[in-house]
């Protein structure tokens, strides 16, 4: 009984310290931070043990928090309540603060016959009432956060040297433009995403934060412009390019969606055709080759006061399950 009380007290003290530190704008990890990234870990019979094992591994390897890019179920699985909410108890009890971004399979694709012909917005509202019901993250302990009005899946929080935001991927929303209500819904979400990005960059500059982490379920196209594409197709990409180019620090974009884990620098400096040195992209593992990525952020004291070069990343990727574990969880 005494041991149980001690564990409870320790957990309460840890959560209180995290809350006090963040609420004052200062952080125990003022110069370093370690966090975990993952996506497309399904709660199917085959993989239902993977999620708990991965989260425990993240905490065991020293991650301060974890972020999911979505993908809680296969894209062709029914979008009923049971399938959409199966991961919630695991996320809520995660051994570290956890932030979840809804993937396409959890709402956008739910209108298809194979998925139950649900109304996508209705499925999203179910996720909102379950995963986004407070001003704190999931997990034990949890962390305080700010949510965008009307879009609780859009979150913002600060931890250590970084400011984090989560976003939808409006480029992937393709409702029938002839449906006025659906078209207005898409436009409103586009406006909300753009506003959330601008506000995040502004907040980072105001607080002299040297790193901004943007997380969304799908990638933004930074490739060649298609002259036949709608005029607003590249608004998001252009905004991210311009904000990053003028940002005195590092920008890390994280997304899932393609099923191929990669780390690269997709933005090019127009002055020399070389990759922008302050923009890095991480695509999380997909369902066919599951795993998670640990990111460690540190200040390089040798770089002096240069905010772009004084922040450095150390990436380490962990396929799952580990080679020495086998396939049973």
pLDDT at position 202 over 60: yes
Looking at the chain, the whole-number percentage of residues with pLDDT higher than 70 is 78
Of residues 257 and 114, more confidently modeled: 114
Q: Residue 27 has what pLDDT?
A: 40
* Eight-class DSSP state of 309: T
pLDDT at position 53 over 70: yes
Band of residue 19 on the pLDDT scale cut at 50, 70, 90:
very low
Q: Residue 185 has what pLDDT?
A: 77
List, for residues 167-179, the tens digit of each pLDDT value. Answer: 987 655 555 556 6
* Eight-class DSSP state of 260: -
Of residues 32 and 54, more confidently modeled: 54
List, for residues 138-160, the tens digit of each pLDDT value. Answer: 999 999 999 999 999 999 999 98
Q: Which of 314, 299, 272 is nearest to 30 (CA)?
A: 299
Band of residue 8 on the pLDDT scale cut at 50, 70, 90:
very low
Of residues 107 and 232, more confidently modeled: 107
pTM > 0.75: yes
Phi-psi region of 71 (alpha: psi -120 to 50; beta: other; left: phi over 0): left
CA–CA distance, 94 with 200 (Å, rounded to integer): 27
Q: Residue 326 has what pLDDT?
A: 52
Q: Residue 222 has what pLDDT?
A: 85
Of residues 219 and 308, more confidently modeled: 219
Q: What average pLDDT is seen over the chain? A: 84
Band of residue 102 on the pLDDT scale cut at 50, 70, 90:
very high
pLDDT at position 3 over 60: no
Residues 226-250 as b/e (b if ≥16 CB within 10 A, e otherwise) read: eeeeeeeebebbebbbebbeebebb
List, for residues 276-312, the tens digit of each pLDDT value. Answer: 889 999 999 998 889 999 999 876 665 555 555 556 7
Question: What fold is seen in the domain 32-319?
Answer: Purple Acid Phosphatase; chain A, domain 2 (3.60.21)
Band of residue 18 on the pLDDT scale cut at 50, 70, 90:
very low
Q: Residue 48 has what pLDDT?
A: 75
Say if residue 208 is exposed, middle or buried (CB neighbours under 10 Å; 0-12, 13-18, 19+).
Answer: exposed
| Residue 241 near residue 222, CB atoms below 8 Å | yes
Strands 32-38 and 65-68: parallel
pLDDT at position 7 over 50: no
Q: Residue 298 has what pLDDT?
A: 77
């Amino acid at each position: 009984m005494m041991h149980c009380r001690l564990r409870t007290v320790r957990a309460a003290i840890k959560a209180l310290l995290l809350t006090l530190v963040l609420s004052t704008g200062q952080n125990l990890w003022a110069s370093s931070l370690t966090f975990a990234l993952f996506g497309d870990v399904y709660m199917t019979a085959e993989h239902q043990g993977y999620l708990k094992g991965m989260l425990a591994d993240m905490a065991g390897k020293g991650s301060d928090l974890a972020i999911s890019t979505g993908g809680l179920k296969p894209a062709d699985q029914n979008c009923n309540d049971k399938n959409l909410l199966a991961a919630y108890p695991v996320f809520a009890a995660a051994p570290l603060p956890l932030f979840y971004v809804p993937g396409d399979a959890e709402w956008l694709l739910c209108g298809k016959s194979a998925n139950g012909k649900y109304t996508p917005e209705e499925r999203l509202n179910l996720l909102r009432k379950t995963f986004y019901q407070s001003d704190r993250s999931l997990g034990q302990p949890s962390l305080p956060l700010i949510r965008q009005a009307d879009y609780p899946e859009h979150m913002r929080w600060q931890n250590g040297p970084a400011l984090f935001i989560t976003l939808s991927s409006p480029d992937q929303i393709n409702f029938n433009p002839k449906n006025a209500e659906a078209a207005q819904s898409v436009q409103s979400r586009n406006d909300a995403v753009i506003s959330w990005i601008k506000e995040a960059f502004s907040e980072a500059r105001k607080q002299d934060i040297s790193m901004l982490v943007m997380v969304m379920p799908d990638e933004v196209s930074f490739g060649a412009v298609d002259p036949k594409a709608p005029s607003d197709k590249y608004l998001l990409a252009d905004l991210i390019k311009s904000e990053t180019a003028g940002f005195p620090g590092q920008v890390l974009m994280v997304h899932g969606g393609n099923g191929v884990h990669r780390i690269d620098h997709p933005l090019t400096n127009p002055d020399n055709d070389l990759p922008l040195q302050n923009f890095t992209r991480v695509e999380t593992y997909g369902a066919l080759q599951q795993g998670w990525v640990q990111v460690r952020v540190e200040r390089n004291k040798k770089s002096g006061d240069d905010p772009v070069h004084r922040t450095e990343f150390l990436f380490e990727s962990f396929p799952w399950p580990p080679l020495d574990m086998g396939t049973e969880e």
